[in-house]
Amino acid sequence: PPRWLRRSGGGPLGLRADPPARKAPAAAAGGPRAMATGAGEARWGVLGCADIARKLCVSVQEAESARIVAVASRDAGREDKDKKARAWADANAPPGTVAHETYEALLGDDTVQVVYIPLPTAMRKQWVLKAAAAGKHVLCEKPVAIDLQDAQEMVEACRASGVQFMDNTMFMHHGRLEEMRKAISDREGFGRVKHVVSAFSIPFGNQESWAKENIRMNAETEPFGALG
């Protein structure tokens, strides 16, 4: 049976055997752009088999108004690309999820309304533009682009196509951030902020085998490294 990520429990990766219970899906209406009007159920497609996309599958499954319907693996002349997409969908998406052999095939799938793009940073602009041209709403992983000009072009493309664009900076929508802001702004209780120290790291960066295989060590695909 498919294995599902959860937020707690279930071993080191938080895996569990069964998806959470949910209501029967409502009938979607109005074509690919119906999500903008709130009609029916938002049908999601995942562009790529990234590990981080597993978390999105859980979140979508737990929502009552959304469903994963398709997954695609890249077309790089790989003989196993269709098998990879199928295996990933079976492990992380609901039964019946379509596994496409190419990203283009997923964008051409009329059942998909919104596309999640967890691809490496250097590839995101290309596929956001293609998704917008295909009339798909877009949720793009952070950072959305390698520079401001590219980001603006992506937003404008979505606006011109009448689709929604959103970056996946999820913590901006968490109540914890507002509570932190309140605490820091409390001059009497917290004091005046004079210095901020921040650090971001990734595991195994010093392991040669990991460095050779992980995309974050490839400046062409992830120019921001660990931040990509």
| Model pLDDT for residues 161-177, shown as the tens digit of each residue | 999 999 998 888 889 99
SS3 content of the chain, % helix, strand, coil (to 5): 35, 15, 50
Residue partners of 96: CB distance under 8 A and separation at least 6 = 69
Q: What is the pLDDT of residue 199?
A: 82
What the block records as the tokens of 191 is 């004091």
Please report the beta strands in the chain, taking only residues with DSSP state E, as ranges in sequence order: 4-5, 15-16, 42-47, 66-72, 98-100, 114-117, 137-140, 165-167
Question: Could you tell me which of 141, 137, 127, 128 has the C-alpha nearest to residue 170?
Answer: 141
Higher per-residue pLDDT: 227 or 35: 227
Q: What is the pLDDT of residue 12?
A: 30
Q: What is the pLDDT of residue 209?
A: 82
Q: Taking 70 as the threshold, does the pLDDT of residue 187 lie above it? A: yes
How far apart, in whole angstroms, are the C-alpha atoms of residue 49 and residue 57?
Answer: 11
Tens-place pLDDT, residues 20-60: 444 433 333 334 444 444 458 999 999 999 889 999 999 99
Tens-place pLDDT, residues 98-108: 999 899 999 99
Q: How confident is the model at residue 208 (pLDDT cuts 50, 70, 90)?
A: confident
Higher per-residue pLDDT: 7 or 136: 136
Q: Taking 70 as the threshold, does the pLDDT of residue 7 lie above it? A: no
Instruction: Please report how the helices 148-161 and 121-133 are oriented relative to each other, as an axis angle in degrees rounded to 10.
Output: 20
Answer whether 131's CB lies under 8 Å from 107's CB.
yes
What is the phi/psi pair of residue 207, to 5°? -85, 125
Q: Taking 70 as the threshold, does the pLDDT of residue 15 lie above it? A: no
- Mean pLDDT to the nearest integer, 124-135: 98
Q: How confident is the model at residue 136 (pLDDT cuts 50, 70, 90)?
A: very high
Cα four-point dihedral sign 223, 224, 225, 228: negative
Q: What is the pLDDT of residue 89?
A: 93
How far apart, in whole angstroms, are the C-alpha atoms of residue 147 and residue 5?
Answer: 33
Q: What is the pLDDT of residue 107?
A: 98
How far apart, in whole angstroms, are the C-alpha atoms of residue 59 and residue 92?
Answer: 11
With tokens 């951030």, the residue in question is 177
Answer whether 118's CB lies under 8 Å from 53's CB.
yes
Task: Please indicate whether residue 130 is annotated as part of the active site.
Answer: no
Of residues 125, 142, 182, 212, which has the active-site annotation? 142
**Predicted TM-score (pTM) of this structure:** 0.75
Q: Taking 80 as the threshold, does the pLDDT of residue 151 lie above it? A: yes
Q: Taking 60 as the threshold, does the pLDDT of residue 16 lie above it? A: no
Q: Taking 90 as the threshold, does the pLDDT of residue 71 lie above it? A: yes
Q: What is the pLDDT of residue 94?
A: 93
Q: Taking 50 as the threshold, does the pLDDT of residue 179 lie above it? A: yes
Q: What is the pLDDT of residue 67?
A: 95
Answer whether 64's CB lies under 8 Å from 38's CB.
no
**Which span out of 11-25, 84-98, 207-221 was modeled with the highest average pLDDT?**
84-98
